[in-house]
Amino acid sequence: MKMTTRTAAANMKYNKNRNLLIGLAICLTTLLLLLVPSVMAFIVRAEHAAVNKVYPTWHGVFRSVDIKTAEQLKARAELGEIGLRVDVGRLEYEDYELPLVFIDEAAAVMNKMELLEGRVPQTGDECALSQGMLKLFGIEAGVGDEVTLPFQAAEGNGYGLVEKQNFTISGILPTVEGNESGKMYTTLVSREFADEIIPKTESCWRVYFQTAELGSLGTTDDVENIGYQIAEDFGIERDRVRFNDEYLIANYVDPAIVMAVVLIMLVVMAAGMITIYSVYYISMASGIREFGKLKAMGATKKQLRQIVLREGMCVAAMAVPAGLILGSVILKLIGDKLYSVAAKPDDLLVQVITQIIVDDEISVFEPIIYVLAAAAALFTVYLSLRKPMRIAGRITPIEAVRYQEGRHRREGKGYESLNLSRLSRRNLFLNRRRTLLTITSMAATGILVMTLASLLSCMDSTDAADDVVLGEYRLEIESAEENREHPEYSWLRIQENNPLDGKLLDTINALPGVERTDVFQSADFKSPVFDENTWRAGITGVPEQYADMLENGIIEGHVTYEELKSGDQVVVDKMLRHWFPELRVGQVIDAEICDGGRTRKHQFTIAAFGEYPYGLCNSSYLIMASEGVEKLWENNQNYYIQIQADKSYDSTLHNELTALIGENTDVLSVKLWKDEYDMMERTYFLMRIACYTFLAILASISIMNLINTMVSSVQARRKEIGILQALGMSDRQSVRMLQTEGLFYTAGTLFLSLSAGCLAGYGLFLYCRNRSLMGITNYHFPWEAAVIVILVVLVVQLILGAVLGKSVRRETITDRIRVG
């Protein structure tokens, strides 16, 4: 074996304790480097898989296209998959929607249409339908049977007369719950049949497409751009292009997440590096003498460097796999629990995800991440070793013989009389660099801990829920503007017969447990300032009880609630400035008010800007007093009823409110403060656990740093401590001396961590609040975290001092003095 390797191996055994510490640090670092990306990747992939299972997979669709254009579209390279679909007609039965549709194979796959039995209709009068629909007609049939159904062919924008049509069943579609509740069953027919009915020039085809080559890293914008571009090329109007937004969003990997993961990994690497580096740096002191002797015997610079590197890598070679194995064990344990902890069990998406996890369709273990983690860990070790390697290379033999700890220029005057604490202080001062290094590296972790803890403690579910739902319950209108099937869901129509009228209010007020009801209005208008294609302009009417909140929230400009009753002035929530940054106080907005069938022109002046909880305006960011809205609009614009109750949740009251909605379930709904609260609790809970675990591991890495510093400090001063004991220092005094040193490190670390950490935490809080991230609204000082940090550090340091002080006693004094 080469001399360097042999020396390295010998050194490894000699420096057992130090290497143990380093090994532990490397192990933990590797652990974190493995866990964080694995968990993130797993979550993202699970979501993608679920989405892919549930949602249709087309990216966009061109509607009302003629067959020729449809065929031409197939040629475009940017569009990967193309699928065709056309409505051939419908079946007649009461008020059910029973369309007859031809859909080609590609479109069927993209729309997730699968047959239970049989095959797709290929010729003439073949069809595929569901048993549920057959039941409607009271027919019982299977594959191969002939059925007769009342058929209306598609004609222009409507349908022709009902005719009896014969169909042969070629396949059976699955019957799902949504069919009966939505009163809709689809029947598939063959291309032949479609071509028979639909004229060639008719533009009624739908072309589903998936953009090619973007894979999973494309953005929604990219897809839309391509879609619109092609539409333009083919003369398809923009409003005939639709995109599968939920699917796209769900499939698209936010680069912000990737960056966050990389950032976290860098932080972990930095923590590991600092610890390993300082451990090595501090224990270099005792090694320098050895290296000097080697140098005197003729070793070269390179050889010395190699020894350091090999020793370090040997330790890493054992610690990194240990970390990976430990990480794998943890992943296995928590893998299936990840999602079940976090979300509502009745959310469909979550159900699917849980199923996926249980079925083990996606693995938590991804080989690439293992390689990545191992590489990152080794790289960290290498970086940490560079400086010690350099130091080792530069040693001269003389230094070894005369090496004293803490060479430095300034001497200082010294003390007149000595006591233990002065001794400790003197020692710390002499080794300034080491002291500072330890304190800084520990404080770095401490600051991170306090910052994150601040953020976490600001995540208060109550605050977040309060931001969204101002009372305990909210009864609100559910309007839908673009539902072709149900045009009566649009707000303009609902207004005409607004169910939120005085009678309803009285009924609600009479319910037991209800303390107060506040009615908010939401009125729409059109204005050239707000492009109506992208932004629905609305005014919120705020009742008297919120006058104070309104006035107190003003941050720019000035207006009183009284003035807002006129209908000419509005307060604008500052959130609107995100999308319309050019809005100014005093700006006049021309508006077209649609009220019933009438339209009127009116002008508002922006009197002020304010900062309000989201639940106040709910995206209608212009605010007036209720009276003002009532002045301008004739129709009843009541949109929300915020209900204050005596208890935060009462199931009786909830049921009664639901009962009040009665038949108007399409347009009314009850929103619970409690639901918001519960949801935030769950979200926060998961985040909290993840963060605290992460911080705990980081903190352990850091504590190892402290342990090493103190241990090597004691080691280097064995002889000195022996002398002190020979001069009569008792055990208790030596323990106290070491504890005083530790106290100093502790104090420095705590001071830096708490002060800088809380400041950073406050800054982070402000950042998040301004961008309304994670529902953070109020600042809560992280008391518990601070107390825990202080306690942990103090306890560790006290124990350390006591243990070290006692351990010093084990050798007899004469041995230490003699060997020295």
Partner 1 sequence: MKPIAQTIDLVKYYGKEGNLVKAVDHTSVTIERGKFTAIVGRSGSGKSTLLHLLGGLDRPDSGKVFIDGDDIYAMKENELARFRRQKVGFVFQDYNLLNSLNVWENIVLPIGLDNRKVEKDFIMDIVESIGLKEKLHTRADKLSGGQMQRTAIARALAARPAVILADEPTGNLDSRTELEVMALLKKCVSHYGQSLIMITHDETIAQMADTVCVIEDGKVVAAE
List C-alpha distances in Å: 555 to 206, 287, 454, 608: 50, 63, 26, 8
287 in helix, strand or coil? helix
CA count, 13 A, side-chain hemisphere, 48: 14
Q: Which of 545, 599, 655, 814 binds partner 1 (CB under 8 A)?
A: 814
Q: How far is the CB of 748 from partner 1 (least distance, A)?
A: 20
Q: Which stretch binds partner 1 (CB under 8 A): 226-234, 666-674, 746-754, 810-818?
A: 810-818
Q: Does 810 bind partner 1 (CB under 8 A)?
A: no
Q: What angle do CA 664, 668, 670 make, to 5 degrees?
A: 125
Q: Using N-to-C axis directions, what is the helix angle for 16-54 and 3-14, rounded to 10°?
A: 90
Nearer residue to partner 1 within complex by CB, 119 or 719? 719
Helices and strands, counts by H and E, the chain? 31, 20
817 contacts partner 1 (rule: CB under 8 A): yes
With CB under 8 A as the contact rule, which of the stretches 153-161, 190-198, 402-410, 558-566 interacts with partner 1? 402-410
Of the pair 157, 417, the CB lying nearest partner 1 is at 417
807 belongs to the binding site for partner 1 (CB under 8 A):
no
- 297 contacts partner 1 (rule: CB under 8 A): no
Taking 3-state DSSP, the helix, strand and coil percentages for the chain, each rounded to the nearest 5, stand at 55, 20, 25
401 binds partner 1 (CB under 8 A): no
Dihedral angle sign, alpha carbons of residues 172, 177, 180, 182: negative
Q: Judged by CB under 8 A, does residue 724 bind partner 1?
A: yes
Residues 407-466 that bind partner 1 (CB under 8 A): 411, 413-420, 422-423, 426-427, 430
Residue 288 in the binding site for partner 1 (CB under 8 A) = no
123 binds partner 1 (CB under 8 A): no
CB of 709 to partner 1, least distance (A): 17
Q: Binding pattern to partner 1, positions 233-252, x when CB under 8 A?
A: --------------------
Pick the binder of partner 1 from 371, 726, 792, 819 (CB under 8 A).
726
C-beta closer to partner 1: residue 626 or 713 = 713
| Rounded least distance, CB 428 to partner 1, Å | 10
Candidate residues 215, 534, 728, 810; the one interacting with partner 1 per rule CB under 8 A: 728
812 binds partner 1 (CB under 8 A): yes
Counting residues that bind partner 1 (by CB under 8 A) gives 36
Which runs of E-coded beta strand occur in 637-692? 638-645, 668-672
Binding segment for partner 1 (CB under 8 A), chosen from 50-58, 162-170, 606-614, 729-737, is 729-737
Query: 341 near 690, Cβ under 8 Å?
Result: no
DSSP state of 97: B
Q: Which stretch binds partner 1 (CB under 8 A): 140-148, 361-369, 727-735, 785-793?
A: 727-735
Residue whose entry in the numeric block shows the structure tokens 């402290």: 706
The conformation of residue 266, written as its DSSP 8-state character, comes to H
Main-chain dihedrals φ then ψ at residue 672, nearest 5 degrees: -100, 135
User: Minimum Å distance from CB 720 to partner 1?
Assistant: 5
CA atoms within 13 A on the CB side of 157: 0
Among 574, 564, 569, residue whose Cα is nearest residue 589: 569
Distances (CA, A) of 686 to 81, 340, 456, 765: 39, 10, 11, 19
- The distance of closest approach from Cβ of residue 18 to partner 1 in the complex, given in angstroms and rounded to an integer, is 22
Q: By CB under 8 A, is residue 733 in contact with partner 1?
A: yes
- Stretch of 83-91, 138-146, 339-347, 404-412 contacting partner 1, by CB under 8 A: 404-412
Sign of the dihedral through C-alpha 488, 489, 494, 500: positive
Nearer CB in complex with partner 1: 413/503: 413
Q: Which is nearer to partner 1, 486 or 806 (CB)?
A: 806
Exposure of 140 by Cβ count < 10 A (0-12 exposed, 13-18 middle, 19+ buried)?
A: exposed
* HEC assignment per residue over 504-547: HHHHHHHCCCEEEEEEEEEEEEEECCECCCCCCCEEEEECHHHH
Q: Give the residues lining the site for partner 1 (CB under 8 A).
A: 404-406, 411, 413-420, 422-423, 426-427, 430, 719-720, 723-733, 809, 812-814, 817, 820
